[in-house]
Amino acid sequence: MAKTALLAKLTAKEGMRDQLLDVIADIGMRNVAGEPGTEVYAAHKDSNDADVVWFYELYSDQAALEAHGGSEQMKEFGKATREFTATRPELFFLEPAVAKGLDF
């Protein structure tokens, strides 16, 4: 089974990135804690845009990604982040190839 990855761009409403990150640190991290197929779930502040958060997510396989995306917890997360985001998340689906520190 091939691992799969996701890069997601979340754009906060102007000046609300910290509130968005608070929701990610609370609800987002709590949700993925019980997902064995979610291997990496990391949020990053964009250094050039004060309103953007990038996610890198690595899953054991496509089924794990689908389980994560379709979970009730992700619906809760979507509702909780909606008041702080300016647009829908931009999602980029990836096939991992080469990395240091990640086991493919």
Q: Does 101 fall in a domain?
A: no
Average pLDDT score over the chain: 95
Local confidence band at 104 (pLDDT 50, 70, 90 cut-offs): confident
pLDDT for the residue numbered 25: 96
What's the burial of 39, exposed, middle or buried (CB within 10 Å: 0-12/13-18/19+)? middle
pLDDT for the residue numbered 29: 94
Which range of residues forms the domain containing residue 26? Answer: 4-94
The two three-digit tokens of residue 104, written as one number: 């493919």
pLDDT, mean of residues 79-102 = 95
Count up the domains in the chain and report the number: 1
CA distance 102 to 104: 6
Q: Which of 103, 95, 3, 90 is nearest to 54 (CA)?
A: 90
Local confidence band at 40 (pLDDT 50, 70, 90 cut-offs): very high
Q: Does 61 fall in a domain?
A: yes
State the CATH number of the domain containing residue 26.
3.30.70.100
pLDDT for the residue numbered 103: 83
Local confidence band at 64 (pLDDT 50, 70, 90 cut-offs): very high
pLDDT, mean of residues 40-52 = 98
**Is pLDDT above 80 for 1?**
no
Q: Does 11 fall in a domain?
A: yes
Helix (H, G, I), strand (E, B) or coil at 94: strand
Q: Does 103 fall in a domain?
A: no
Q: Does 104 fall in a domain?
A: no
